[in-house]
């Protein structure tokens, strides 16, 4: 009887799902309704951006002056702009630009910032001093002003705006990773890896970096929202995307003089920026609650 009971307990234990920090985080995230709403709306934006050529019969860079500043209708859902171009078409094509700039600029910032933060935090001494002083110098300037200065030197274009946004956000991720490394390298599992003779590169890549991913993911998600805002600001100032590209900030800049005559030309790009930024912030907050053990009850 005792053996049968032991075997039953073993079967029950085997049938239970294996728990892990990432699986627990996913369960927590699924319970966050605001984060799920954010995911759904961003998914819709991504889907519209990918299917833009098939959704609308119009071209984003061509219009008819006879139809300029037409209000929203069954033919033009978001109306037309001062050049007779369909605003809905330009908004969904603009999603391609804004999401691409937000995603790739953050990826660039995360890669470079994480690399520098790992070096500064793990090796310390003069390496830490040089990298930290570089971060301090960059953080001494407001990010948007530094981005404007970089684009002004490189020349106005969407690619240069993306590069500038990536550069100005490097210190954010670098300092985050550095602080994480400083605490992790004193942990017992890192000490044990050093004691058995593991190489520094292996310790960094296999022990420290995986345990630093949670704050990087959260900050990166929130950083996409910031990058989209910065891209829109550069576009509004004429330093980002150039006409006739349908970038949301550029659309606001081009249509601001028609805000009373044709307010829809400003409202819909502005709402797109607001909604996208809000959704990424909701997702970032949800990820923070799911990945931070201190937020769990």
Question: DSSP letters along 223-281, please?
Answer: HHHHHHHHHHHHHHTTSSS-TT---HHHHHHHHGGGTTT-THHHHHHHHHHHHHHHHHH
79 CB neighbour count, 10 Å cutoff = 21
Q: Which residue from 116, 101, 113, 96 is spatially nearest to 224, judged by alpha carbons? A: 101
Structural domain boundaries enclosing 210? 47-295
Per-residue DSSP letter, 169: T
Query: Alpha-carbon torsion 53, 55, 58, 62, what sign?
Result: negative
**pLDDT at residue number 18:** 53
In a domain, residue 11? The reply is no
In a domain, 31, yes or no: no
From first CA to last CA, the distance across the chain in angstroms is 40
Per-residue pLDDT of the chain (297 residues; tens, 9 = 90+): 444 444 444 444 444 455 566 677 777 777 888 889 999 999 999 999 999 888 888 888 888 888 888 889 888 899 888 888 999 999 999 999 999 999 999 999 999 999 999 999 888 889 889 999 999 999 998 888 999 999 999 999 999 999 999 999 999 999 999 998 888 887 787 788 778 877 878 888 888 888 888 889 889 999 999 999 999 999 998 898 888 889 999 999 988 888 888 899 999 999 999 999 999 999 988 888 877 655 554
Please report, for the domain that includes residue 129, its CATH number. 1.10.3720.10
Q: Establish if 17 belongs to a structural domain.
A: no
Specify if 163 maps to a domain.
yes
What confidence score (pLDDT) does residue 88 get? 92
Residue 86 phi, psi dihedral angles, 5° rounding: -70, 120
Picking from 134, 101, 58, 55, the residue whose alpha carbon sits closest to that of residue 250 is 101
- Cα–Cα distance measured from residue 42 to residue 48, given in angstroms and rounded to the nearest whole number: 10
- Domains of the chain: total: 1
Please indicate, yes or no, if residue 169 is contained in any of the structural domains.
Answer: yes
State how far the Cα of 107 lies from the Cα of 111, in Å rounded to an integer.
6
Give Rg (Cα) of the chain: 24
Residue 121 CA from chain centroid, whole number: 24
- Domain membership of residue 114 (yes or no) is yes
Q: Judge whether 246 and 91 are in contact, CB under 8 Å.
A: yes
For residue 186, the model assigns a pLDDT of 78
Helices 264-291/213-236 angle, 10° precision: 170
8 A C-beta contact, residue 151 and residue 87: no
CA proximity to 218, closest of 160, 172, 161, 257: 172
Does residue 196 belong to any structural domain of this protein? yes
Whether 39 is covered by a domain: the verdict is no
Relative orientation angle of helices 33-50 and 87-123, to the nearest 10 degrees: 120
Q: Report pLDDT for 107.
A: 94
Query: 86 pairs with which residues across the strands?
Result: 80
């Amino acid at each position: 009887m005792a053996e049968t009971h032991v075997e039953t307990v073993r079967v029950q234990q085997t049938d239970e799902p294996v728990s892990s920090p990432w699986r627990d985080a996913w369960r927590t995230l699924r319970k966050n309704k605001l984060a799920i709403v954010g995911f759904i709306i961003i998914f819709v934006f991504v889907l519209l951006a990918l299917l833009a050529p098939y959704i609308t019969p119009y071209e984003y860079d061509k219009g008819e002056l006879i139809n300029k500043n037409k209000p929203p209708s069954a033919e033009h859902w978001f109306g037309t702009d001062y050049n007779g171009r369909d605003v809905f078409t330009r908004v969904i094509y603009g999603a391609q630009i804004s999401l691409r700039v937000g995603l790739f600029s953050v990826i660039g910032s995360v890669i470079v910032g994480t690399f520098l933060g790992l070096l500064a935090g793990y090796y310390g001494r003069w390496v830490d001093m040089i990298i930290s002083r570089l971060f301090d110098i960059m953080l001494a300037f407001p990010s948007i002003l530094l981005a404007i200065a970089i684009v002004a030197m490189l020349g106005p274009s969407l690619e240069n705006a993306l590069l500038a946004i990536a550069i100005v956000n490097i210190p954010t991720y670098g300092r985050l990773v550095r602080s994480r490394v400083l605490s992790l390298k004193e942990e017992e599992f890192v000490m044990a890896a050093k004691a058995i003779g593991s190489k520094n590169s292996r310790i960094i890549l296999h022990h420290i970096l995986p345990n630093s991913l949670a704050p990087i993911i959260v900050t990166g998600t929130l950083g996409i929202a910031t990058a989209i805002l910065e891209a829109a600001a550069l576009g509004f100032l004429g330093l980002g995307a150039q006409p006739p590209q349908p970038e949301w900030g550029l659309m606001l800049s081009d249509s601001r003089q028609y805000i009373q005559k044709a307010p829809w030309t400003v409202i819909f790009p502005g709402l797109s920026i607001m909604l996208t930024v809000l959704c990424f912030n909701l997702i970032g907050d949800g990820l923070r609650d799911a990945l931070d053990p201190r937020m769990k009850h």
